[in-house]
Structure 1
Amino acid sequence: MKKYGSSTASHGLRSHSSASRDSLRSLVWSLVKAHRASYTVLALTVFVTSLLLCSTLQVYTAGKMMDGAVGMDSMNTLRRLMAVTPYQNVVVLSTVSVLCIGLVAVFLVLASVSSLVQNRRREYGMMRLNGAGRLRIMVMALGEFSLPLALANAVGCLAGSLLTVPMGMAVNGPAEFPGSGMLFRPRIRPVVSVLAFVFMMVVCLLGVWLAVRKIGKATPLELMGQEPVKDTGRMGWLRSVVAGVLLLITLIVGFAPIGVTLDVRCMLLVILVISTVYASSPLLVSVSVSLVGLVPEKLAEGPGILARQRARRKTEGSMSIALPVMMVLTIVVSFLAVLRAGSIGGNMLNLRPLKADVVATADTSSGVDRIDSSIRDLGDAVNEADIYQTQQWAVEGSDSIFQVAWHEGPGRLPGGTGVTAPKVVKGSLADLGPGRIAVSNEHADYRLGDKVTLLDRHDRRYRLTVVAIVDPPEGMPELPMDFLSSADGLPRSGELDELIAMVSASSSVAVNGILKGLQETGVRGMRVETRAAFIDRFVRRGVSGQHALSVMIVGGTVLAMVFLVQSIAIALAERRRQDHRLYQIGVSHRSIIWSAILEIMVDAFSGILIAMVAVCVVVAALAAAFNGAGIGVSYTPIPVGSFCLIGLLLLIIGVAATFEISRSMLGDPGSEQ
């Protein structure tokens, strides 16, 4: 009897456990069906996020694995090293895009899930009153959200993988594949899709856990109330401390003289600014909504007053609208400013000081004799001049490409005393000749008497002795001059011939005559420019080479648009009964829609205002860094166009979505939907 009784009890326990699991699954599925409209919009956000993240991550991996690099084993060493360069550029470009899209995805998806959980607080309160514990609600919420989010995430990663090839083509030009002899052919890797899927699921479920954990701290009666659940005093205090510490660190990194490089400082600053804005968003949104709301309250009378009161009363709802606007503007525009600053700053530092009054450049070494003759014919108009022919060579035992330069005249190279000639640090340029070479001072590993082996385009080896250490001409980024040889020191058997002539005029009046004299030489493809024109072209070329950042801009903006529409739909759906009561007491259909549009505009403009302040902090820090590096503050990039374009687009989408959703909800104003 004991054995039978024990077996019966065990069977009953298993039956109860099975029934409990079945009831939980049934409840989860019924909740998903009941909230399918909200989940549809949320799933769209996750789908777009997964698509962009997975496709850019696939391109990053393709660049890392050098997809399409066919026949490299048959190439000579120099050509093989040159072929690797565009793949390295792909890795850099896709890394920036993945970082930006990832940051936008994390902030927006977390806020999206949190907003949906918050708007279902009464439902969770009813469950608590019916005896459901906090743990059961947490498990139920995780299971409920997992179903639609996992499906949307999987479809997004699949679609993102299919977009790998067109996404790779978007970075083909900026990565400098044309002319490299390589054709970028990114292939799809399932393991990358799995990693993107796992990352997005962790983000989504983390958002659910944080939001439900916050709900669980409130009492059932608080959850059943009209107002959103507020943070407890402890949580508010902790968030305030975190925001204050982040702000202090941001100011230190941005403006204090700390010993880090400019690029590291700038990237760290952007991450800190983004984190600070997100941490302090409740306070910032509350203040900005109150300020911005004064405008419609004064200008639009009844609808404007209602819009401001609603915006101020529902800070949580305003945050869900303002957050995508302020986060995408802060993230995308700050990254744009920093990347452009890095390009401009690097170029300006390379160009300072450029002492040549006239610079002539050509992608061929032909015409050296004609240019030399023309400079000599200019006579007293020329104070000093140097002509260099450069080529790309490989160094045995190195994975980098080096530039070798030959001095072609008409200046006197030995001694290097001219303003456009290299400055001798050690040794003597008079010792140059067959088997001897000078090395740039930037390569600190080389000493006088060291041996270096150069490889030409035919993989022929030239073993040379270092006889001089030099500093290349200042202000000439196109002439890094890793190695300097005499006319008879090396044959011209490298890759990518280039010609650079630098002329110093005897007076400012003589500059135009020198320009005209060099332009009349008739060397095909040669560009003759003044110092100012050369600097301006070089800086603009560095900035224009960042076309791949359009992927980052479009991706971040699309994510913000999807989340913005979702937040508007949830906010308006929650107010449906309130709008119906307003209509019943005599408020017109038109006024209700107009007040909803004004409220969304207040929230969106609040996000724009906060983002503007954040971007101004980044730009001010860049200006201070430029000033400290000796670069004119006028060169500081201020991405006003990108900021205004993205902000206007989000505002238009928000207004259009509000009008359409409000009109559909109030389509039959006589019935409560």
Structure 2
Amino acid sequence: MLSVALRTLRTRWATFAGSFVALSLGVALLAVTGLTLASSLDAPDREPERFAAAPVVVRGQDTLRVPTPVGDRTHELARPRAVPAGTVAELERLGRVVADRSFPVRAEGGPGDLVGHPWSTAAFAPYAIDTGRAPRTAGEVVVTGGWAAPGERLRTDRGAVRVVGTVPDRGFENAVFYTDAEAARLSPVSLQLTVDADASTVRDVVRAGPGVRVLTGDDRRLADADPDRDREALTAMNAMFGTAGGVTAFVSVFVVASTFAFTVAQRRREFGLLRTAGATPGQLRALVVAEALGVGVLASAAGCVLGAWGAPHLAARVVDSGLAPAWFTIGDHTWPYHTAFWTGLLVALCGVLAASWRAGRTAPTQALREASVDTGAMTRGRWLFGGGLLLTALVTLGIALAGDPGGLLHRKTYVSRPMLLITAVAMLAPVVVGPLSRLLALLPARLPGATGLLVRENAAAGVRRTAAVAAPVLVTVALAGSLLGATATLDRAEAAETRERTAAPFVVTAAGGAGLDARAVDRLRSVPGAVVSPTASGAVYVLEEGTALIRSDARAVADPKALAATARLPLTEGRTTDLDDASIIVNGEWERHSVGQSVRVWLGDGTRRTLRIAAVMATGTGGNGVYVTRANAPGAPVDRVDVALAPGADAGSVAAGLREAVGTTGGRVSSRDEWVAAASPGTNSTTRAGLLLVLGIALLYTGISLVNTMVMATADRGRELAVLRLAGATRWQVLRLVGAESLLVVAVGALLGLVVAGLNLAGMWGALGLLSVDTTIELPWAALGGVAASCAVLAVTASVVPAWLATRRRAVELAGTRE
């Protein structure tokens, strides 16, 4: 049988070309994924930036550490603490101490991410004067880069200043350096400092300070702004490529399995002749498996070579797109190639198992069949697995809705869940493709002429062919609808939540991440007709189930009554006005979420408090957070002020007064609609890139499978097309018939994919409803139309071209040919 398999591969190379290309591309993507993951796991920690030349950095407590029965649980503090004054005094006896201060600066004509520092910290980067001199007085600054030159006067939210010098841009920040005294005035709190002393001596001094850390060597990078940004970028990139790898494996198995199944269905007569010649069912199964093994070995080897070539190019692309750190490259690893090769071979063998079993069941009488009508397309195994998968998808959806509806909103869930339903519907497709084809062709069949009638009957009679062509269309449309629809539905739901919570007609926000100072808030309060509710961003931490330390974003409220007038919190229990310094408003995700219960929490600076639950909000999409008073958010600056109108107040006059009140601080006054549009989170760039990568893979495989299946199907219909020619059909009528059949089959696959996407999004809509979010399902009609149109173009081209080539021969010759 091995020699027969080799001859089959040689003579039927066009039949297996689609499987070879699909599998080799799948292996290449798996190799790229493995190489990316391996390279990111071996990625070095980022080197210190601002403190690369600093001897020792002492940082105040920035980590919350909570002991539990299974070990300490830690979380980064939202409001790190300053180094204790007593510790600073002792350090000053050891050597020179320089306090580091970082604060946002907004300057006309300057970069949007300007940050201010004291000049004495410039030497630790190290920065050196490029032009001009160092600042000497409060109104003088030194800037990085070339966006301002010495002698220029700048208007900033910190006051007017004059540039007296510049330093070269080191690539990690856009800085403005003030004198030490002026920086201390603008940012009184210093969270970290440098000490010119022996590290071991410094550790002895700070040992008594709770949570104070001494940073030396590479650990000095932890004193930089956002020190984990590279690691977070790599983690997001790993998640993206991991998802792409999973989809690649799924679609590869899907395409290879459907291709081999259709190939076996086409070769019924061939297998019948082999059975007549004495071949046993086991030998036929061995033949099909050997063919798959040959394709798998060659395709996996080609995929590894393609992956080795493509991985560096893809790495450069993700770096250019900002999805990976600038230094990221593909390392020298071998295990990804082994994983990709053997996975590809396993995919080929798994994809052919069902087909080999069907080949073994071929009876000798199949060699005598002349009819092209498919019978027995739904075997008991197909009923069992398809029905079982459909039942599993529905039951797990019901369990998730009953137990954890919020889990259905997670990216991993809405990316993986459609695959189960897609497989189930594809396996059960032969049950519905016949009736669905007749339904879609009902109107064309009643038009004058026989084309519509023939299209309907051919599609309904060739169930296996119709299902095989419709399957890849089903995969792509279902994935596009499910993934893009899920993100659009979530974006719409989150925007609806934001709009519902915002009752104030105006919202004032601080510029550039800075807070509004007390004077600005007082000016806002003094605006005639304005009812203001200043709030600050914060966080609280709670230990749930005794082992999980959970962070919740918090809004710190100055006046609960003003909050009730400017916001509509989605409360399920309690009242907003019951909030006070000894209480908290939580959401339904908390382990304790009943009014009157007490919860032990840690505030943003690590202070432990026990607070009473004053009210409970609905869970929503997960962005409701918690509410506390300003007393429970120490050090958090006001960054948002909601403004309602007093009775009889004029909206235009109030808006003008608000703009005048914040005009010198760089604050922004937005209407409710503007604020909702700006605050709605939307889909981040990494998630969007991951979804596009997944859909690109699906569309690529759709094209391969469609072209391969249509070429095979059309080539197998040579005698059928010849009979049509002998019956009087012209060549162009035959080609129109073939093209119309292709469009009908694509429509069947697109409709099934739309049903799958609708079911998946209906589950998400049900979860949102259980979480008290009133929203609608968002189907990406433009994307679905584009995907369906692409599939239609490929299907028509891949069917009409072989039919055109076949009809170039005389109809009598074609009618007399044998397979």
1:600 is displaced (CA, Å) by 1.1
Give the counterpart letter for 1:354 in structure 2. Answer: T
Query: 2:794 and 2:309 mapped to 1: Cα distance?
Result: 28
Q: Is the 8 A contact 1:447 1:466 kept in 2?
A: no
The normalised TM-score by structure 1 is: 0.77
1:253 is displaced (CA, Å) by 5.4
SS at structure 2 position matched to 1:311: helix
Q: Paired residue for 1:197, among 324, 327, 341?
A: 341
Structure with greater strand percent:
2
Provide closer, same or farther for how the CA distance between residues 401 and 207 of structure 1 changes in structure 2, counting only shifts above 3 A.
Answer: closer
Q: Paired residue for 2:9, among 32, 35, 42?
A: 32
Q: Is structure 2 residue 814 aligned with structure 1 residue 667? A: no
1:194 is displaced (CA, Å) by 2.6
Q: Is the 8 A contact 1:350 1:477 kept in 2?
A: no
Corresponding residue for residue 500 of structure 1: 640
Give the counterpart letter for 2:641 in structure 1. Answer: A
1:250 is displaced (CA, Å) by 4.7
Query: 1:285 and 1:148 mapped to 2: Cα distance?
Result: 30
Q: Is the 8 A contact 2:433 2:460 kept in 1?
A: no
1:283 is displaced (CA, Å) by 0.7
Q: Is the 8 A contact 1:165 1:187 kept in 2?
A: no
Q: Is structure 2 residue 115 aligned with structure 1 residue 139? A: no
Corresponding residue for residue 245 of structure 2: 98
SS at structure 2 position matched to 1:383: strand
Moved more, 87-96 or 204-213: 87-96
Q: Is the 8 A contact 1:404 1:485 kept in 2?
A: no
Deviations 1:187-209 (A, max 9, x none): 46432233233223222212222
Provide closer, same or farther for how the CA distance between residues 499 and 628 of structure 1 changes in structure 2, counting only shifts above 3 A.
Answer: same
Give the counterpart letter for 2:773 in structure 1. Answer: I
Q: Is the 8 A contact 2:491 2:681 kept in 1?
A: no
1:654 is displaced (CA, Å) by 1.2
Q: Is structure 2 residue 672 aligned with structure 1 residue 518? A: no
Q: Is the 8 A contact 1:404 1:484 kept in 2?
A: no
Q: Is structure 2 residue 186 aligned with structure 1 residue 209? A: no
Give the counterpart letter for 2:680 in structure 1. Answer: V
1:335 is displaced (CA, Å) by 2.6
Task: Map residues 20-419 of structure 1 onto 2, 5 A cutoff.
Answer: 24-56=1-33, 58-59=35-36, 62=39, 65=41, 67=43, 69-71=45-47, 73-74=218-219, 75-76=221-222, 79-168=226-315, 183-187=327-331, 189-227=333-371, 236-237=379-380, 239-240=382-383, 243-244=386-387, 246-247=389-390, 250-251=393-394, 258-264=402-408, 267=414, 270-299=418-447, 301-345=449-493, 348=496, 353-361=501-509, 362-365=511-514, 368-369=517-518, 371-379=520-528, 381-388=529-536, 411=558
Moved more, 271-280 or 601-610: 271-280
Q: Is the 8 A contact 2:538 2:604 kept in 1?
A: no
Query: 2:354 and 2:233 mapped to 1: Cα distance?
Result: 42
Give the counterpart letter for 2:462 in structure 1. Answer: K
Q: Is the 8 A contact 2:475 2:753 kept in 1?
A: yes
Query: 2:614 and 2:316 mapped to 1: Cα distance?
Result: 40
Query: 2:486 and 2:628 mapped to 1: Cα distance?
Result: 33
1:325 is displaced (CA, Å) by 0.9
Deviations 1:370-390 (A, max 9, x none): 6324303313x2223214366
Q: Is the 8 A contact 2:507 2:669 kept in 1?
A: yes
Provide closer, same or farther for how the CA distance between residues 364 and 342 of structure 1 changes in structure 2, counting only shifts above 3 A.
Answer: closer
Q: Paired residue for 1:551, among 667, 686, 693?
A: 693
Deviations 1:370-418 (A, max 9, x none): 6324303313x2223214366999x9xx9999799897x9x45899988
Deviations 1:111-162 (A, max 9, x none): 0121122212222222222222222222232222322332123222432343
Give the counterpart letter for 2:439 in structure 1. Answer: L
Deviations 1:347-386 (A, max 9, x none): 655775334442233323265356324303313x222321
Q: Paired residue for 1:573, among 711, 715, 740?
A: 715
Q: Paired residue for 1:621, among 756, 763, 769?
A: 763
Q: Is the 8 A contact 2:498 2:680 kept in 1?
A: no
Q: Is structure 2 residue 591 aligned with structure 1 residue 591? A: no
1:37 is displaced (CA, Å) by 1.9
Count of aligned positions:
617
Deviations 1:159-216 (A, max 9, x none): 2343334545666688866xxx765445464322332332232222122221121121
1:275 is displaced (CA, Å) by 3.3
Provide closer, same or farther for how the CA distance between residues 344 and 476 of structure 1 changes in structure 2, counting only shifts above 3 A.
Answer: closer
Corresponding residue for residue 51 of structure 2: none
Corresponding residue for residue 643 of structure 1: 784
Q: Is the 8 A contact 1:387 1:501 kept in 2?
A: yes
Query: 1:82 and 1:159 mapped to 2: Cα distance?
Result: 31
1:596 is displaced (CA, Å) by 1.0
Moved more, 148-157 or 639-648: 148-157
Provide closer, same or farther for how the CA distance between residues 254 and 526 of structure 1 changes in structure 2, counting only shifts above 3 A.
Answer: farther
Give the counterpart letter for 2:292 in structure 1. Answer: F
Q: Is the 8 A contact 2:555 2:626 kept in 1?
A: no
Q: Is structure 2 residue 706 aligned with structure 1 residue 564? A: yes
1:593 is displaced (CA, Å) by 1.3
Query: 2:435 and 2:466 mapped to 1: Cα distance?
Result: 11
Provide closer, same or farther for how the CA distance between residues 652 and 515 of structure 1 changes in structure 2, counting only shifts above 3 A.
Answer: farther
Deviations 1:559-611 (A, max 9, x none): 11110010100001101133234334543211221111111111111112222
**RMSD of aligned alpha carbons:** 4.4
Corresponding residue for residue 15 of structure 1: none
SS at structure 2 position matched to 1:614: helix
Query: 1:92 and 1:340 mapped to 2: Cα distance?
Result: 20
Query: 1:62 and 1:300 mapped to 2: Cα distance?
Result: 64
Query: 1:618 and 1:508 mapped to 2: Cα distance?
Result: 49
Query: 1:107 and 1:498 mapped to 2: Cα distance?
Result: 54
Provide closer, same or farther for how the CA distance between residues 308 and 334 of structure 1 changes in structure 2, counting only shifts above 3 A.
Answer: same
Deviations 1:230-288 (A, max 9, x none): 6769x634544554555555555557862222333864763443233123111111211
Q: Paired residue for 1:603, among 739, 745, 752?
A: 745
SS at structure 1 position matched to 2:226: helix
Query: 2:395 and 2:601 mapped to 1: Cα distance?
Result: 45
Percent identity, please: 17
Provide closer, same or farther for how the CA distance between residues 238 and 464 of structure 1 changes in structure 2, counting only shifts above 3 A.
Answer: closer
Provide closer, same or farther for how the CA distance between residues 386 and 448 of structure 1 changes in structure 2, counting only shifts above 3 A.
Answer: same
Q: Is the 8 A contact 1:439 1:470 kept in 2?
A: yes
Give the counterpart letter for 1:159 in structure 2. Answer: L
1:516 is displaced (CA, Å) by 3.3
SS at structure 1 position matched to 2:234: helix
Q: Is the 8 A contact 1:340 1:543 kept in 2?
A: no
Query: 1:606 and 1:552 mapped to 2: Cα distance?
Result: 23
Provide closer, same or farther for how the CA distance between residues 607 and 660 of structure 1 changes in structure 2, counting only shifts above 3 A.
Answer: same
Gaps of 5+ in 1: 1-23, 430-437, 455-462
Query: 1:321 and 1:359 mapped to 2: Cα distance?
Result: 54
Q: Is the 8 A contact 1:452 1:464 kept in 2?
A: yes
Query: 1:134 and 1:645 mapped to 2: Cα distance?
Result: 44
